[in-house]
Structure 1
Amino acid sequence: MRRLGPWVIEKDLVAPPGRVVLVSTAALVLAFLSAGLVFWAYGVSPWEAYRTIFVETLLSPSGFAEGVRRAIPLLLAGVGLVLAFRAQFWNIGAEGQLLLGAVAAAGVALFVPLPDALKLPAMFLAGFVAGGLWAAVPALLKLRLGVNDVLTTLMLNYVAVYLVEWLIHGPWRGRTAFGFAYTDRFPDAAMLPLVPGTYVHWPTLLIALLAAVAAAFVLNRTRWGFPVRVVGDNAEAARYARMPIFWVVFAVALVSGGLAGLAG
């Protein structure tokens, strides 16, 4: 509870569904109005700008497909961040975890001799493990040493960026790169299958949608999600109830980083 002049501000522990919808709708409307003011300040009609945006994406087959393609990694990483934030592990390092997942998957594609049928599953597994381990570092620093997780996850992004740059400029630079920063082409077995006529890679789209549904179900409908909610709402109460706070936060960090690694 907080007093602000003649008003008292108190947190509503159980928000009615109608209020949640109202607040979310109001936030979207304010966001569109704010962006419209920016368009107007640059001499562009907000109505024309929004019409172009929506017509060229939602109402255009190619534009819609491209939007879906770009949304897939955001959805995967976002699901992991929701889980992390719910347990008050402030993972600001999804970008770095995504890059480590990409590095691990590329390493499997380029250098690990596997049967064609196992190439993509191994790449997915490698990406998940690499992203999870990258997130485990700040999780351990927070849980064991009390180091601020916002800072460690954020700063590890830069380490990941420089690691990728070192690899593609150095030991992993392709034989046909001719001085440019990219690797050799992946073998065909390491290419993601696409929806015909688009660049939408349907396996990762399916994984992202299933991950979102599974995360919501586990978090709200299972005994595994209950400790996550309790730790996020009140860590002291969780400690008093003898919940394994260390393992709850550590597991959430692994899954959060792993999903970002899958996005990579």
Structure 2
Amino acid sequence: MIDWISQYDPIVQALIGTLFTWGVTALGASMVFFFKTINKTVLNGMLGFAAGVMIAASFWSLLAPGIDMAEELGQTAWLTAAIGFLAGGGFLYLIDKLLPHLHMGLDTSEAEGIKTKWQRSVLLVLAITLHNIPEGLAVGVAFGAAASGQIGTASIAGAVALAIGIGLQNFPEGAAVSIPLRREGFSRKKAFLYGQASGIVEPISGVLGAFAVITMRPILPYALAFAAGAMIYVVIEELIPEAQREEGGSKTDIATIGAMVGFTVMMILDVALG
């Protein structure tokens, strides 16, 4: 697979990688054709797994290569990483405050962002769409970094590993969108369409990320840290609280175990392939 994808332009590589992650989201959303409900404990484990993957990817696939490149360019590595990381979190914070969205299990009156009269279904999908933006961006930036040839630790294999890791955690995310929508009265077809639509931003943000770092290579260390910061923001602001909501005792342990497993899987993928 790595030899096959390496023959393409980096932007096309990013597109292929993020189309894969979007496809896995759609595959997860297709679970609505087999199940009408999803157990909260299972959902906790899924969200925990996604959080673990994103945390591991943020360091091994993004921050570490970004720091290496900053050092090679003669930049103050810790400052570059800090600026990019905080900028990524700040960017997601602004989107979170501006874009109307609603988390699963909450009443429409508790929707976040600018007040709107959009339908509940749209608000629910937008909540998941929010954290697919940094995921697509991360994959695009990773392929762009590999193409630059300026970072010894950045390779197409590493970018492919990141795309696989993001894809793995997109499967439960797709199910976590479509199945609750089915429970709220949507037809299976409509719930599936809404569920897979939450991942459509990944190819868009992936291509934009790859294009930006290829055309403006001096920003690459900042871009890598930016993507990492955006992903960590999503983990802390959304995935972890969502996994812990309305549960207590040993039931929340499932989310913790899921996070540990997800972190380990992404670490193995990145170290073994990258």
Same-fold call, TM cutoff 0.5: no
**Taking CA–CA contacts closer than 8 Å with sequence separation of 6 or more, which of the two structures ends up with the larger relative contact order?**
2
Q: Scaled by the length of structure 1, what TM-score is found?
A: 0.29
Greater Rg, structure 1 or structure 2? 1
Q: Scaled by the length of structure 2, what TM-score is found?
A: 0.28
User: Going by fraction, where is helix more abundant, 1 or 2?
Assistant: 2
